[in-house]
Amino acid sequence: MQVTELLQRCLWLDLETDTENTVFKIGAVYRDQVFMRQGHFDLAQAIIDLEQFAATADYVLGHNIVAHDMPVLQSHNPQALILKQPLLDTLLLSPLAFPQTPYHHLVKDYKLVHDTVNDPVADARLSAQLLTEEWHSFERMKQNGQGDLLAFYRFCFSQEQGIQDFFQALGIPEIQLNTAKALLQQKRYADRLCAHALAQWLQNFKITPAWAYALAWLSVAEGNSVLPPWVRYQFPEIIDILHSLRETNCGQADCAYCHEHHNAVKQLQNFFGFQAYRPIPQAEDGSSLQQRIVEAGMQRQPLLAILPTGGGKSLCYQVPALAHYQRRGVLTIVISPLQALMKDQVDGLVRRTGTPFADALNGLLTSPERGQVLERIRLGDTAILYVSPEQLRNHSFRETIKQREIACWVFDEAHCLSKWGHDFRTDYWYAARFIREFSATIKQPIPPVAAFTATAKQDVIAEIRGHFKQFLAQDLTLFAGGVERDNLSFQIIPTSSMEKNTRIHDLLHHLESGCAIVYATTRKRTEEIATFLAEHEQPIHAAAFHAGLEPPEKHTLQNAFIAGELPVICATNAFGMGIDKNDVRLVIHADIPGSLENYLQEAGRAGRDRETADCILLYDETDIERQFKLSALSQLTRRDISTILRVLRRSRRQDQNLVVISSGELMQQLGNESLSFEHTDHMMDTKVKTAIAWLERSGFVQRDENSTQVFQGQVLLDMQQAEARLEKLHVSQDKKKQWLRLFSVLLNMDIDEGLTADALAATAQIEVAPETDTTPAKEAIRLLQDMAQQGFINQGLQLTAFFRAKGRNNAQQLLSQVCSLESAMISVLREQEPDAKEGDWMDLNLRQLSQHLLERDHAIHPQTLLQLLKSLSQDGKGLAGNRGSLSLHYVAQDFYKLHLQRDWNALEQTAKRRQAVAQVLVQHLQHKAQATGENQRKELLLSFTLDELQQALSNDLALQTQLKDSLAAAERGLLFLHEQGVLNLQQGLAIFRAAMHITIQPEAKGRRYNQSDYGALDHHYGERILQIHVMNEYARLAQKKIQDALNLVAAYFLLDRKNFIQRYFKHDKAMLKRATSAASYHQIVESLQHPVQTSIVAASAEQNMLILAGPGSGKTKTVVHRCAYLLRVLRVAAASILVLCFKPQCRAQPAPSSA
């Protein structure tokens, strides 16, 4: 039988329904005749008419008709005759026909990909088209000797008459149970599954479609193919089947599969090319602790690992993640607080392993980049996903990861979970709740958690383990590797502030090999040091490196440092953590860090090659005061949190407990109340969200997903034109002023600036009536939309890019090189497998390919080739269908399998089409660069829209006829230019309102936020003060004897808090509660040597006092010392202190030298 004959015997059916299963459209096709019902119709009569329409049909054909269409019809008419017809469901057949990719190009998740909206007749025709392609795929499998596999599929669907008849029509025979079992035990599967696990299943083998899908997936396993989520949901037993066959180590010596795929050393060799794990630090039995951690991760064991910076911490979760992905196509999600450094982590993994399966998802991505990452996750091309904690509150993130099985949740920098830690982040608290709720939503067990940190003292360890025990019921096995690095030499050099630059130069001048990092507390300080070194009479090539740099500059500096062209980099403490270079021989701290943890992590950048290196701290005892000041800047008072709770309670509607509000809107609703910080504070958003997190911790509120509105647009007029156009609109004077203020703000924004709607509303002085159900931020967004409708703004996706139009390495030059290389690469691949056609596989050795290209005068690094291959795998929408030209499957380092998804001619044509698109885009941007009138030899930041790029493509008549979707082609071409480094894509101008969804807990009604609620946060602030004192004590001891200081470090991490304090601060416990040094406190308080003055100076900041004293009693001196106490000890903001002087000479009273 031919498929056309089968289709003539089928009724092609599709229903359009709502969430309540109300049928609002019926579409069907039978032998080229069309049946359609829509609008207001009698459903019962429509079902009768449908049955008469297809009275002679033998089958009902549709997509997802087994789980959707037929149950809907049955709910409306259980006696309908059509329900008795055998069903041909293309959804059920799709993963069997196309196992190598998760979805056929006509299928997305469980739905058809259609060109029309809500057209059931078109969808019915699509299902027939899909069945035809499934038929042809099965025919090819049969011709390739896989008829027995198709017979197994038929066996597993013995309860589905339509599927049975479909395979019978294909000429696939029926088989019995013993034959099915024998098929599973064939040699072709011996290296793809655990034979012992299979034997257990075969003892009580049950016929189920899950086995068909399991075997189909096994036929393409160890690539980037994933099970469609609907298979997991509809046949949940498949997870147990594949987990036992692929993920569970039987431990038997005769099992070839487990011996290879569950061997931690073999996986290390496979992915990283290392022959063994690091011998240091050691496990309790003397073996490699790193290997023990990897083995636990590969066995999906919940764990907490502590390894020193430079001790191979990342590898401990990367090897298990890649192994899980190779075994089951599952996803590992890494939660990391270092948003600005995620790309570096991804690039580093790709560079070291050659695996193109890592991605990062955070707020720094442009819209096209984000869309591409989400698609890669969905399609199974991502093995390791780095996410920032705030992404967990993003709806698109949640929906995308539903498409994948999660192997493990990794918490990098896990100390951020602990209020006893040096870098506590309240965002980390939500993660466990998200994991628990998400797992419940998808009805799957909670995946294991693996937590990693380089520094964790005993209290932090206890809190991390307790947190996951409480919220996820997981006991984390502890792997403690300590913080010591034997190859690092530590030294403290007492240095005054005035001498530091000179001392830094002297140290660097005597550096004999390798490179150096100089850490400083502020961006300004890094620039001062770099300038001093460069302008010295014996100049040293150095550069400042911090978060304020433009991306191209940061990229250039980082590459120069890694390549050895830049020997010294001056970095801020946080930003320098992203520098990954093995031969750093010297780390200098120009300023004292805020904790031992920070110091050890930053110093740990040195000697990552395990050769000796020096770590030097330049110590000025007054530096500690800067750390106390910085620590105080982020603190919240109990009154702050109580006030925010009152605002939230006032903001809810009377009939609801839900509040949808942004941080800025909350600040605007303070009324007559005040906080210790202003809305202009650069940490305002963080402080508000921190307060809400602590309210949630105490049971007052619950914060859920964010609700984000984004307005992007391009200003079309100047101010004079805007005023003229406003005159024609006949709006009120107040409205006119409001529009012009808003328009003026937009005119003065940078082209790549992101601004909150709250800030825009405040700057433009937008006000709303109290009784209205809106906010200034909402009104600002509404006004922008009105302005777009009136032609003031062109609303749409705005982007910017750094682009060099002329000079060395200009965009046109780079694009020509890339296109030439890509064409040569495709030519070499085609020569290797000239007869390969669509659907075929070919082996690829990246090093050999690089050598072949070198012989053709293309000197290129294998990683560049990998990036080009990755681009080919993305060539789809807008260029040639919905899928890439190939898929890349990792085998071992530098070894891959390529699956051709187009034949060579189509692949070449698609690549040339994309190259032509990229060429048009570069030419368009060159014209824009020329129009700026600026120096085109430097990288310019250009602004543009996707619509604008689409128009540029439309203007090229020859190219336009080749493009299926010019907008999608423009996006693909733009991403290609970004991927290949021809330009550097950035965010465009955007106004956004990120509102929190907060539920006021009814059970906390009327309860106040009191001191017991605030106690945990107060302890955290006290711990930060302690950490600074400990760092200062380390420096003090090291000046006398470095070993005493190193003993303090060991005790800090090994002893509990109480015993550590007893050992090192036995007589100074009171000092540990003060946010100032002992010397400073002595000058401010103890030097007074007057009990009354002392009690006044050291009184609580909340205490009201009236002091009556006669002339010469020291009133002025006491006031000055009181101010110094508020500023230096209690760390009260200077702007909140007002001193009224009635004698001019009092204003000149000198403060204590420490203040």
Share of the chain above pLDDT 70, in %: 96
pLDDT at 108: 59
Chain mean pLDDT for the chain: 91
Beta strand 658-661 with 613-619: parallel, antiparallel or unpaired? unpaired
> What contacts 24+ positions apart, CB below 8 Å, involve 312-317?
312/277, 312/278, 313/452, 313/454, 314/345, 314/349, 314/412, 314/452, 315/268, 315/272, 315/290, 316/290, 316/452, 317/408, 317/410, 317/412, 317/450, 317/452
| pLDDT tens column, 1102-1140 | 889 999 988 888 988 999 999 999 999 999 888 889 998
In this structure, are residues 676 and 637 in contact, taking their beta carbons and an 8 Å threshold?
Answer: yes
* C-alpha Rg value of the chain to the nearest Å: 33
Residue 157 pLDDT more than 90? yes
Residue 784 pLDDT more than 60? yes
* Residue 774: both structure tokens together: 């809106």
pLDDT at 563: 87
| pLDDT tens column, 313-347 | 999 999 999 999 999 999 999 999 887 778 888 98
pLDDT at 879: 77
pLDDT at 484: 85
In this structure, are residues 242 and 99 in contact, taking their beta carbons and an 8 Å threshold?
Answer: no
Residue 114 pLDDT more than 70? no
More confident of the two residues 278 and 222: 278
SS3 assignment for 301-370: CCEEEECCCCCCHHHHHHHHHHHHHHHHCCEEEEECCCHHHHHHHHHHHHHHHCCCCEEEECCCCCHHHH
Mean pLDDT of 275-286: 93
More confident of the two residues 1090 and 964: 1090
Mean pLDDT of 252-272: 94
pLDDT at 620: 94
Q: Do domains 263-480 and 491-620 have the same CATH topology?
A: yes
Residue 188: band (very low, low, confident or very high) from pLDDT cuts 50, 70, 90: confident
Non-local CB neighbours of 186 within 8 Å, separated by 6+ positions: none
| Position 256, amino acid | A
| Position 351, amino acid | R
Give the lowest-confidence range in 243-247, 874-878, 1095-1099: 874-878
In this structure, are residues 588 and 526 in contact, taking their beta carbons and an 8 Å threshold?
Answer: no
SS3 assignment for 357-384: CEEEECCCCCHHHHHHHHHHHHHCCCCE
| Position 804, amino acid | R
How far is Cα 642 from Cα 694, in angstroms, rounded to an integer?
A: 11
Residue 616: band (very low, low, confident or very high) from pLDDT cuts 50, 70, 90: very high
CATH topology of domain 3-175: Nucleotidyltransferase; domain 5 (3.30.420)
Could you give the 3-state DSSP secondary structure of residue 100? coil
Mean pLDDT of 479-488: 90
pLDDT at 769: 80
pLDDT at 117: 64
| pLDDT tens column, 846-899 | 999 999 999 999 988 888 899 999 999 988 766 766 778 998 888 888 899 898
Q: Where are the alpha helices (DSSP H) in 58-184?
A: 70-76, 90-97, 120-143, 147-156, 161-169, 177-184
* Residue 240: both structure tokens together: 């147990």
Residue 1153 pLDDT more than 60? no
Residue 101: band (very low, low, confident or very high) from pLDDT cuts 50, 70, 90: low
Q: What is the pTM of this model?
A: 0.92
Residue 516: band (very low, low, confident or very high) from pLDDT cuts 50, 70, 90: very high
CA atoms within 13 A on the CB side of 243: 13
In this structure, are residues 521 and 572 in contact, taking their beta carbons and an 8 Å threshold?
Answer: yes
CATH topology of domain 263-480: Rossmann fold (3.40.50)
pLDDT at 987: 85
pLDDT at 227: 87
pLDDT at 577: 65
Give the lowest-confidence range in 109-123, 225-239, 553-567, 701-715: 109-123
Beta strand 713-715 with 793-795: parallel, antiparallel or unpaired? antiparallel
Torsion of CA 919, 920, 922, 925, to 10 degrees: 180
More confident of the two residues 1030 and 575: 1030
Residue 972 pLDDT more than 90? yes
pLDDT at 109: 59
Residue found under tokens 């780390």? 587
In this structure, are residues 26 and 35 in contact, taking their beta carbons and an 8 Å threshold?
Answer: yes
| Position 997, amino acid | H
| pLDDT tens column, 1069-1093 | 999 999 999 999 999 999 999 999 9
Mean pLDDT of 35-48: 94
In this structure, are residues 549 and 478 in contact, taking their beta carbons and an 8 Å threshold?
Answer: no
Q: Where are the domains of the chain?
A: 3-175, 263-480, 491-620, 713-795, 802-987, 1076-1155
pLDDT at 1101: 86
In this structure, are residues 224 and 381 in contact, taking their beta carbons and an 8 Å threshold?
Answer: yes
Q: Is the dihedral of CA 157, 159, 161, 164 positive or negative?
A: positive
Residue 131 pLDDT more than 60? yes
Could you give the 3-state DSSP secondary structure of residue 279? coil
Q: How far apart are the first and last CA of the chain?
A: 94
Mean pLDDT of 242-266: 94
Residue 220 pLDDT more than 90? no
CA distances from residue 337 to 303, 387, 425, 428 in whole angstroms, order as listed: 19, 8, 8, 9
| pLDDT tens column, 921-939 | 999 999 999 999 888 888 8
Share of the chain above pLDDT 90, in %: 71
Residue 787: band (very low, low, confident or very high) from pLDDT cuts 50, 70, 90: very high
Pick the CATH number of 491-620 from 3.40.50.300, 3.30.1120.80, 2.60.40.10, 3.10.180.10: 3.40.50.300
pLDDT at 106: 63
